[in-house]
Amino acid sequence: MASSVDKLSVLLLLIVSSLVVAACAGNFYDKVDVTWGDGRAKILNNGELLTLSLDKASGSGFQSKNEYMFGKIDMQLKLVPGNSAGTVTAYYLSSKGSNWDEIDFEFLGNLSGHPYILHTNVFSQGKGNREQQFYLWFDPTADFHTYSILWNPQRIIFSVDGTPIREFKNAESMGVPFPKDQPMRIYSSLWNADDWATRGGLIKTDWSNAPFTASYRNFNDDNACVWSSSTSASSCSSTTGSSSNGNAWLSGELDTTNQERLEWVKTNNMIYNYCNDSNRFPQGLPPECSMA
């Protein structure tokens, strides 16, 4: 009984958290550049709304105007409704080059009535293979929800509506590279990946449902260190700038309440964790997996 009460209490916290997460409205005309899609990406409502569309000919995408060297970045998304099987909506931070860093949210579409899979990954120096996957505790196509990345020198925290779902800690002391030396941009795209996205590629995209559309609003990078390539410095480089911007997240970590929320999500919503996949790593699990 106590266990059921505890679970109910945490679930109520998640719901309340989703209701009170506030995102400062960012004007997409000022914040992003549409990079591909031949008109399938649209900025609407005086810059308050952005939509990406996918049809059989092409998907679409955009990137942030700014590069960042650490930050807390929020975006509200409403995913492709109905039969979205075969489609992937990607929202991620990435650097450039063959030894790139990357922090991924990918939303894998599914048949009508079946849940999306939220796929996360972390790349450092070109190496990924750190997948964790989740079912969400709500319908991500019915309304907008806030998806956040907190990236500081100590850890990366993925959050949904203010609830942490994953923490990737800096394990350089164990020989594991950590993304901290390369500035990254936000990228997002909607594309066809029916060779792998839904049930390993068994379910193909039904183009009779096209165009598929994902919607975005309230892009917030106010709590991020904007990188200047001309000076090779970030907006948080000076002590004055950091303190005046209130960048407590630069050394932030999960408090007890959020640690409990994270554990609740792991127990109830995680469907794959590379750190539990001993068949995939017969020579031993990656060293960071020993960090509880």
Query: Which residues are identified as catalytic?
Result: 102, 106
Q: Do 89 and 52 meet the contact criterion of CB atoms below 8 Å apart?
A: yes
H helices present in 193-278, as ranges:
239-244, 256-269
Sign of CA dihedral 171, 128, 68, 258: negative
Q: How far apart are CA 1 and CA 251, in angstroms?
A: 38
Q: Would you call 67 helix, strand, or coil by DSSP?
A: strand
Distances (CA, A) of 6 to 2, 10, 165, 166, 270: 6, 6, 18, 20, 18
Contacts (Cβ under 8 Å, ≥6 apart) of 232 = none
Question: Which residue from 30, 136, 29 is spatially nearest to 78, judged by alpha carbons?
Answer: 136
Let me know: does 261 contact 13? Beta carbons within 8 Å: yes
Euclidean distance between CA atoms 73 and 91, whole angstroms? 11
Question: Cα–Cα distances in Å, from 215 out to 108, 187, 230, 247, 266?
Answer: 15, 14, 33, 29, 27
Q: Which two tokens stand for residue 116?
A: 């999306």
